[in-house]
Structure 1
């Protein structure tokens, strides 16, 4: 596997690949790779000739400097995983390479509305960081496909809107959330949970599933009552709720009687760790 840190070297490499007309897939990550990333790599191999993985803990998308410092960085472990998965190119830049003039002086990309609601409201500037770094990666790597997990559902919609509205010739492919045997979604942040929090964390998805099943059973009636009960269960289990609500799954707008494609979005705190998860709901006419 070739580890590339320099933009000029990366551009030469991509130019060489493009001449061979091979199909390129990009998996952008912040490292600390887990089973979800491995599944994403397996998915990418079905679509492309060459999978490029990037590892960059992007400071622009962190609204909390302490959170940035605590983010687990495990390059040696990540390298071994990618090597076993036979990844040919790892792009591993540092902050100076990606933001040579610093964050404050850097051009940024903002997606109106969709990046300001829900998770964007709780974490101002987060999605600006996501979309800005993705634009840089898309421009440098010029992938035909890019692959994302569905756990970060709002991020996935933001990325799709970015690609559509900026006319990137890139197909976005998503992977359903990969979970541990207890239902907890794989996440790099899980490593920061203590032993008692690891026992509590799976209840988030269990309560989401219970909410989903109740809404289906009630055929979409009394949704607010169901949400309130679920929030009560979460609090009783020890979660501090930031977001637990139901939205239109295509737009993330508030739901109306006409909405049939819905999604439960949850962002909660367990101790000092923020967990997010979701589940789609399809109501029948």
Structure 2
């Protein structure tokens, strides 16, 4: 299995693949891989002749130094997991210096307002960091298709807009949310949850499913109020936000309209660990 740390090595590998006219699937990750990541890689393997997985904890998309420092880094076990899928997967695991040079800095992007909703409100500059690192990674790997999970649905929409802004030829593929049997959306941050937090966490998806069930009969304000009540007295989970938004522009709504696609989005703190999830409503 090939594991590259240097930009020059991965670009040389990509050049060889391009000369052979091979399609390249790309799965960008920050490591601490789980079954959700592996599902993305499996789809990439089915749809492409070569697959590259990046493992890079990107410093420009973290809003607190504490979260960056505590983010799990498990490169050896990540590589083992990937090799179990295919020995042909190419891993790119660079340092920050290899991507950014001496100073990791973000480019300021205008994502047509997508960056100002939900996650953007609570994590200023986050999507500039996401856009910046993905532009670097797309340039380095030159993929045919890039795969992203719908758990980060706002990010998925941002990436599509990034490709449009930068006029890149990569096709962005959204993949379904991978969940534990309890309903908890898989996330690398889940490894930091203690037992009581894990026991409480199914409430997040349970709440979203009930919102989906009631969406046709209850008003947006009633649903917002009901969701808030679910977390009001919970000692393990603290609601940061819940919003019902249009899929097209991710703007939250006060009233529903016909012929419009909506999605519910939620962010919850379990101690200092932040969990997000979402669900299609119609």
- Whether the TM-score (by the shorter chain) exceeds 0.5 is yes
CA contact (8 A) 2:107 2:129 kept: no
Structure 1 unaligned runs (5+)? none
Which SS does the other structure have where 1:73 is aligned? coil
- Give CA deviations for 1:3-55 in whole Å, capped at 9, x if unaligned: 11111111111111100000001000000000001111111122111010000
After TM superposition, give the deviation of residue 96 of structure 1 in Å. Answer: 1.1
- The residue aligned with 1:214 is 214
- The residue aligned with 2:262 is 262
Q: How does 1:120-159 map to 2 (within 5 A)?
A: 120-159=120-159
- The residue aligned with 1:44 is 44
- The residue aligned with 1:176 is 176
Moved more, 254-263 or 60-69: 254-263
Supply the distance in 1 between the matched residues of 2:108 and 2:92 (Cα, whole angstroms).
Answer: 21
After TM superposition, give the deviation of residue 109 of structure 1 in Å. Answer: 4.3
- Give CA deviations for 1:120-162 in whole Å, capped at 9, x if unaligned: 1101111111110000011011001000000001000000111
Pair 190,170 (structure 1): closer, same or farther in 2 beyond 3 Å: same
- The residue aligned with 2:226 is 229
CA contact (8 A) 1:203 1:237 kept: no
For the aligned residues, what is the CA RMSD? 1.4
Supply the distance in 2 between the matched residues of 1:215 and 1:236 (Cα, whole angstroms).
Answer: 24
Supply the distance in 1 between the matched residues of 2:256 and 2:125 (Cα, whole angstroms).
Answer: 32
Moved more, 242-251 or 147-156: 242-251
Residue 246, structure 1, aligned to residue 207, structure 2: no
Q: TM-score, normalised by structure 1?
A: 0.94
Supply the distance in 2 between the matched residues of 1:52 and 1:110 (Cα, whole angstroms).
Answer: 28
Q: TM-score, normalised by structure 2?
A: 0.95
After TM superposition, give the deviation of residue 235 of structure 1 in Å. Answer: 2.4
CA contact (8 A) 1:264 1:281 kept: yes
CA contact (8 A) 1:111 1:128 kept: no
Figure out how many residues of one structure are paired with residues of the other and give that number.
Answer: 278
Supply the distance in 1 between the matched residues of 2:220 and 2:212 (Cα, whole angstroms).
Answer: 10
Residue 119, structure 1, aligned to residue 119, structure 2: yes
Q: How does 1:168-207 map to 2 (within 5 A)?
A: 168-207=168-207
Moved >6 Å (runs of 4+): none
CA contact (8 A) 1:60 1:103 kept: yes
CA contact (8 A) 1:248 1:262 kept: yes
After TM superposition, give the deviation of residue 108 of structure 1 in Å. Answer: 5.2
Supply the distance in 1 between the matched residues of 2:213 and 2:8 (Cα, whole angstroms).
Answer: 52
After TM superposition, give the deviation of residue 258 of structure 1 in Å. Answer: 2.4
